[in-house]
Amino acid sequence: MISIPDLRVILIDDNEVDLLLHERLITLQQISRTVLAFNNANKALEFLSSNISLPRIPPTVLLLDIQMPEMDGFEFLEAFYSYPAKIKSQCHVIMVSSSLDYGDLSRTYANPMVFKLLKKPLLASELKNAIMDIFRDQ
């Protein structure tokens, strides 16, 4: 169990099964009480920009898939890069992918906005550890 009371997790994945799986996993393991699922990276971007009007942005973990139609994970990161610091500083990106493609993997490791890459199937223990690492120094 992770003790960040207002932590929220945003899931971005075009695969509906994985969205459901990850949502159930997070709820079951009580990682976060708020889970928002988007099957399209654009919709997630829209949601995040609407957050600007909030008085305070809650600590947020984004679980981002790599390959998606329309806008893939890297394109999402590129667009998100230009977001105001008020939003960006509260969002932590964990890439989640089943890809073994060398190009995909090295691009992920090279991206400074990505905290970690987790491989599918997503394991509760790995996700918990990654989230704990993110908030350890804070």
Partner 1 sequence: MKDNRIRILYIDDEIHNLNAFKAGFRRSYEIYTANSAQEGKQLLKSIDVHIIIADQKMPVSTGVEFFNEIKDTLPDPMRILLTGYTDVEDIIDAINKGHIFSYIKKPWDEIELHRTINNAFEIYNTRRQLKEKILELEKINDELNRFIYSTSHDLRSPLMSVLGIINLSRLDNSVTDPNGYLNMIEVCILKLDGFIQKIIEYYRNSRLDVEYEKINFENLIHECIASFRHQNNAIQFEVNVDQPVDFKGDTFRISVILNNLISNAVKYQKPDESHPQVNLSVKVEPHKATLSIEDNGIGILSEHLNNIFKMFFRSKNNNKPGSGIGLYIVKEALNKIGGTINVESKYGEGTLFEISIPNRNDFDS
105: phi then psi, degrees, rounded to nearest 5: -65, -45
Closest distance of CB 25 from partner 1, Å: 6
| Cβ closest to partner 1, residue 91 vs residue 117 | 117
Least separation in angstroms between CB 35 and partner 1: 14
Would you tell me which residues interact with partner 1 (CB under 8 A)?
15, 17-18, 21-22, 24-25, 28-29, 67, 98-102, 104, 119-124
Q: Considering beta carbons, is residue 8 or 18 the nearer one to partner 1?
A: 18
Lookup: tokens for 125: 């223990």
